[in-house]
Amino acid sequence: MKRPALILLIGLFAAVAGYATIYHLGTKQHRQMLENPAPELAWLKKEFQLGDTEFERIAKLHDGYLPRCAELCRQIARENTELRQLLSVTNVDARAVEAKLKAAGDLRVQCQQSMFNHFLEVSRQMPPARGRRYLQWIEQRTLTPEQDMARRHDEHKAMGHH
């Protein structure tokens, strides 16, 4: 093979090998996380730099929380079904609807309280600074959607004026 062609090929090989090596090393941790049976918990471990003991406790809390959450969801779904039945009749019983709305609302509050307690428990398993960061982050993502609602109202209002 002629020397210039050989050098050209060596250059191209160096580029491909360099790319593949860095890409492989740079994504290794994430690929391992994705292979985990619970990748979202593996992500939590990485994001909040949890030790193995902390992580085990948090994973246990997570597994314990999910059935409670699922049970509340089932109860809310049942209330919603009953509410739909009340609304489907010709003469709607306003008082019964009101009571059902309140019951469903109470369950939602219970659900949010359960969520909040879980967040607190999880944050307590972390070192204080990381626990605070976790709590701030998760509350923003879950318990304070009203900010979003207010923003949507503002956007809607702005669109109405144009």
Site residues for other proteins, 98-157, by CB under 8 A, read 111, 115, 118-119, 138, 141-142, 145
For residues 96 and 103, the answer to whether their CB atoms sit within 8 Å is no
Residues touching other proteins: how many (CB under 8 A)? 46
Helix (H) or strand (E) holding 120: helix 94-124
100 or 119, CB closer to other proteins? Answer: 119
Q: Which of 23, 51, 106, 120 binds other proteins (CB under 8 A)?
A: 23
Q: Give min distance, CB of 117 to other proteins, in A.
A: 11
9 or 99, CB closer to other proteins? Answer: 9
104 or 115, CB closer to other proteins? Answer: 115
Closest CA to 30 of 54, 47, 17: 47
Should residue 66 be labelled a site residue for other proteins when binding is judged by CB under 8 A?
yes
The full 3-state SS of 33-102, as one line of letters, equals: HHHCCCHHHHHHHHHCCCCHHHHHHHHHHHHHHHHHHHHHHHHHHHHHHHHHHHHHCCCCCHHHHHHHHH
Closest CA to 142 of 76, 79, 69: 69
> Where does this chain bind other proteins (CB under 8 A)?
2-4, 7-8, 10-12, 14-23, 25-27, 29-30, 33-34, 39-44, 47, 62, 65-66, 69, 72-73, 111, 115, 118-119, 138, 141-142, 145
